[in-house]
A and B are shown apart, each in its own frame.
Chain A
Amino acid sequence: MTVPLLSIDGLTKAYPGVVANDHVSLEIQEGEVHALLGENGAGKSTLVKMIYGLVKPDSGQMRLRGRPFAPPEPRAARADGIAMVFQHFSLFDALNVAENIALGMEDPPPMRDLASRIRAVSETYGLPLDPFRTVGDLSAGERQRVEIIRCLLQDPKLLIMDEPTSVLTPQEVRILFETLRKLRDEGTSILYISHKLEEIRALCDHATILRLGKNVGECVPSETTAAEMAEMMVGSALQAPERGRRAFGEIALDVTGLSVASPSAFGTPLRNVHLAVRKGEVLGIGGVAGNGQDELLAVLSGELPAEPDAIRLNGVAVGHLGPTERRRLGLLAAPEERLGHAAAPDMSLTENALLTGSVRENLERNGFIRWDAARAFAQRIIEAFDVRTPGPDNAARSLSGGNLQKFVIGREVLQNPEVLVVNQPTWGVDASAAAAIRQAILDLAAGGAAVVCISQDLDELMEISDTFAALNEGRLSAPRPVEGLTVEEIGLLMGGAHGMEVAHV
C-alpha cells in the first residue's frame, strides 16, 4: 500500500465544557472520495477546521504524504494543496464572480486573464458560470459553483466539501457528483462531509463515522446498508415518527395571489403564491435555500405586511395584521434562525416563553406581565418537550441547538395553534431531537391543526408531509400529494438543474 495522502492520528480538540474531537484518526488515500459521516455536533466541522488550519489541535498529529503537517493558518494549508468549500459561503453579494475569486487569491492575475481561467475551469468540470455576474443575483447552487471554482483554480490535492448538497436540488446533486468523480479520476482526493447516507453510498469509496467526537467505525459505503451506517452514526436504531391516519377538515389557511417584495436587497420577492392547507394536513414546502423561504415565513407570521385578502385564516382576511393579532386568531410561526429571531439569546427561557406566548397563554393583564404565569408556561414547555436545562431562568444561549429548537417548537405547539408555520424545524439538530420535533408536528396535525413545514431537507418533508410544493425563485409550485411523488419530480418542482450541465468527460 502506498503512503496515504493525509493521515490523522489521535487528534484531540476540547472546548470549554465539551470535547469536540477525542483521539480521532483517519486516512485519506490518493484519489479517493472519503466520507466523514456523523450527526450534527459529532465533531466533523472541528476536524476539518483543524485540517484546514482554522483551529489548532490540543494533541495528536497529522501527516501529509508521510511528512508532519500542522498548518498554522488556512494560507499554509492552501499552499500545501488543501482547499475547502464551506457550508456557509463567504462571498460578497455586491461584487461579481471574478472579483470574489480574486479576493481569495494570494496574487490575483489581471481580471481578464482570471475571467478566461474561470471560464476554462468551468467548461472542463461542467460548472457553467459567467465571471462577470454579480454574486447577489446568483442562486445558492451557482454560489457554490463559485466556491468550487475558487478551489479548483488552486489545483488542490485534497478538496474538503462541507455538506455541499444542502443547497442543491436532486438534479444539481447528480451533476455535482459527476464533477467530483471526474476530479477523483484525475487524482484529487475529496473529503466529503455529510449526514445524508444515500449520497455517501452513491459517491464515496470509504467512510469514517464520528459520534460525539470519537471514531465509531469505518466502512466501504457501497457494501454497507444505509441502516447499518445510520446505526453507527446515531448509536441506536431510531424510531421513525408515526404518521397515524387523519382526516382532513376544512381549509384553515388560504393564501391567494400573494406577492411581496423582500425586505433585504439581495432577498427573493414572493411572486403570486397560492396555497391552501386543510385542518389536519401537513403541507411540506421544499426548495433550495434563498428561494423565498425566509420571506414566506415572515409574510405568514405577520412580520412582513401583505394585502389583507391575500392571506385568509379560517375565512378571515389577516394579510394586513401584525404578528400579535395573528397569534390571537391562531396563526403561529417558528422561524429558522433560533438565536436572534425565534428567541432572544441573552434573555431567560421565561422571557422567551413570553415572547410569543403573551396573548394566547394570558401572560399579561392590561399590559402588565404575569411573571408567575410566564414562568409556569416556560416550565410546561421544558417538561413536555424534554428540554435539557437547569430551569426556566437560564439564558436561551446556554442551551444546545437541539434543546433550544425543542423549546421554540414546543412554545408554539403548546399554544394550540389553528395553523402552525415552521421553517427548517430540525436544522442543525441532533437525530433524537429531530425525531421528537417531527413527532410533535405530526401529533399537532393529528389534533386538527393545519401545518406548513418549510424545509430544505427532502427526507424530512417526505416523512411528515401529506402534500408537497416547492419554492423556486419566489414562486410556489402547485401543491401535490406526497404519495406517489418521485425524487425526480420533486427535483423538477424545485427548479431542476438551474442551467447546470454534466461534466464534459
Chain B
Amino acid sequence: MIALEKRPQPSQVWSVATPVIAVLATMVFGGILFAVLGKNPVEAIRTIFWEPLFGEHSFYYRPQLLVKGAPLVLIAIGLSLGFRAGIWNIGAEGQYIMGAIVGAGVGLAFYPMEAWFIFPLMVIAGALGGWVWAMIPAVLKVRFGTNEILVSLMLVYVAEQLLASMSLGLLKNPEGYGFPGSRNLQQYPSAHNADLIEGSGMHWGVVAAMIAVIFAYVLLNRHMRGFHIRLAGEAPRAARFAGVSPPRLILFCMGLSGALAGLAGLFEVSGPSGQISIDFNVGYGFTAIIVAFLGRLHPFGILLAGLLMALTYIGGDIAQSQMGLPAAAIQVFQGMLLFFLLAFDLLTNYRIRIGKAGVA
C-alpha cells in the first residue's frame, strides 16, 4: 500500500530539489516522446537546452534569452505577489497590451520631437495603462464582490479588440501605405528602448525585471506589507485578525501586478517589437502565470523559471526548424515541465510511505 502522509513541517530539502528533479524528469519523458516521434531524443534535448546557450549560433540566441525572459519575469513577479495573497489576476495579457498602447501613444504624441524626457514619460504612461486596466477588476471586487479571475480574463479580450482598433485607427502610421500598425518606435530615437550595450539584448526592460526581483524579495522577506501578503494567502482570518484590510491588499496587489505588466508591454513595444500592431501580443501574460508557479512564487525562483521558459521557447524554435519537430510536441514538452513540477511539489509537504503503517 502506498500512502501519502503530511509532513509536520514543509521540507527544506525537497523545496529546493523538486524543480531540479522536475527538469530531469521532463528531459527523460520528453526524450521518450521525441523518440516515439522518430527523432533522436538526445539530439532533441541537446538542441533545446544546449544549442541556444553554447551552440554554433549562440551569439544570436543568448541576447534572445534576455529579450524573451525579461517580460516573463517582470509580469510573473507582479502576479506572484497577488497569488501569494490569494488574489488571482489572470488578465496580465490585457494589462500588458494596455501598457503598450498607452506608453506608445504618449511617445507617438510627441513625434517627431526629440527630447530626453519622452522615454521616461512613456515608462510612466505604460505602468499607468496596466495599472488602470488591473484596477477595473480590483475595484469591482472590492465594491461589489465580483470574481477577479473572470473580470481580469474577460478584459484581456477587450484589450485585444482595442489593440486591433488602435493599429487600424488612432495609432496607425500615416506614412504606412495603409498597412495596419503604428510608426516603428525603433526609428524614433527619443522613444526607442534600445540595447544598453549593443547586441546584448540588455534593454531597459531587463533592468526593470532585475529591480522587480530584488524589490519583491525585500518586500516579501523584510517588510510588513510582504508579511501581510503571505499571511493573507496562508490564513485569511488570521490576516484580518492581524489587522490586514482585505480591500487595500486587493488594490495593492492587483495594481502592482497591472503596473508591472504594463511596463513589460511598454518595454516590448518600444524595443524588440517596435510598433503597435494587431498581433503585438504573443501570450507573455499567460505564460507568466506558468513562470510564477514554476518559480514557486519566489522572486529568485521566478528569475530562474523565466530564463528556463525563455530557453525552452528558443530551443523549441530551433528544434522545430532544424529537426522538423512539430510545434505541438514542443508545447507538450513545456506542459510536461509544469506537470512534473506541480507533481513533485507534493513531496515538499507530504512524504510517501510504502507498506502498511506500523504501530509506532
The stretch from A76-84, A394-402, A436-444, A466-474 touching chain B is A394-402
Structural contact, B224 and A347, CB atoms closer than 8 A: no
Structural contact, B223 and A368, CB atoms closer than 8 A: yes
- Interface centre among B222, B237, B241, by most A CB within 10 Å? B241
Per-position binary interface string of chain B over residues 132-166, scored 1 when its CB falls under 8 Å from any chain A CB and 0 otherwise: 00000000000000000000000000000000000
Contacts of A346 in B (CB 8 A): 10, 234-235
On chain A, the number of residues with a Cβ less than 8 Å from chain B's Cβ atoms is 42
Structural contact, A16 and B223, CB atoms closer than 8 A: no
List the B residue with the shortest CB-CB distance to A364: B224
How far, in Å, is A426 (CB) from chain B's closest CB? 19
Given A12-B359, A302-B243, the answer on whether A394 and B9 have CB atoms closer than 8 Å is yes
Structural contact, A322 and B8, CB atoms closer than 8 A: no
Structural contact, B241 and A16, CB atoms closer than 8 A: no
Structural contact, B225 and A367, CB atoms closer than 8 A: yes
Residue A141, interface by CB 8 Å: no
How far, in Å, is A398 (CB) from chain B's closest CB? 4
Structural contact, B234 and A369, CB atoms closer than 8 A: no
How far, in Å, is A146 (CB) from chain B's closest CB? 27
How far, in Å, is A236 (CB) from chain B's closest CB? 25
Residue A342, interface by CB 8 Å: yes
Per-position binary interface string of chain A over residues 1-39, scored 1 when its CB falls under 8 Å from any chain B CB and 0 otherwise: 000000000001011111100000000000000000000
Structural contact, B243 and A344, CB atoms closer than 8 A: no
Per-position binary interface string of chain B over residues 209-234, scored 1 when its CB falls under 8 Å from any chain A CB and 0 otherwise: 00000000000001111010011001
Q: Which of B1-55 contact A (CB under 8 A)?
A: 5, 8-10
Residue B196, interface by CB 8 Å: no
Structural contact, B237 and A324, CB atoms closer than 8 A: no
Structural contact, A19 and B360, CB atoms closer than 8 A: yes
* Chain A interface, DSSP helix/strand/loop, else mixed: mixed
Structural contact, A344 and B222, CB atoms closer than 8 A: no
Structural contact, B234 and A342, CB atoms closer than 8 A: no
List the A residue with the shortest CB-CB distance to B240: A303
- Whole-angstrom distance between the alpha carbons of A59 and B10 in the complex? 31
- Whole-angstrom distance between the alpha carbons of A17 and B4 in the complex? 15
Residue A122, interface by CB 8 Å: no
Residue A291, interface by CB 8 Å: no
List the A residue with the shortest CB-CB distance to B359: A14
Structural contact, B222 and A14, CB atoms closer than 8 A: no
Per-position binary interface string of chain A over residues 378-406, scored 1 when its CB falls under 8 Å from any chain B CB and 0 otherwise: 00000000000000001101100000000
Structural contact, A347 and B243, CB atoms closer than 8 A: no
Structural contact, A341 and B360, CB atoms closer than 8 A: no
- Whole-angstrom distance between the alpha carbons of A285 and B225 in the complex? 35
Contacts of A325 in B (CB 8 A): 243
9 A-B pairs with least C-beta separation: A324-B243, A323-B243, A344-B235, A398-B8, A341-B237, A14-B359, A14-B360, A344-B238, A355-B242
Q: Please list 30 pairs of residues, one from A and one from B, whose beta carbons are closer than 8 Å in the complex, sorted by A's number.
A: A14-B359, A15-B360, A18-B360, A19-B359, A58-B359, A301-B241, A322-B245, A323-B240, A323-B241, A325-B243, A337-B237, A340-B237, A341-B237, A341-B238, A341-B241, A342-B238, A342-B241, A343-B235, A344-B235, A345-B235, A347-B230, A351-B227, A351-B231, A354-B227, A355-B238, A356-B241, A367-B223, A368-B222, A369-B222, A369-B227
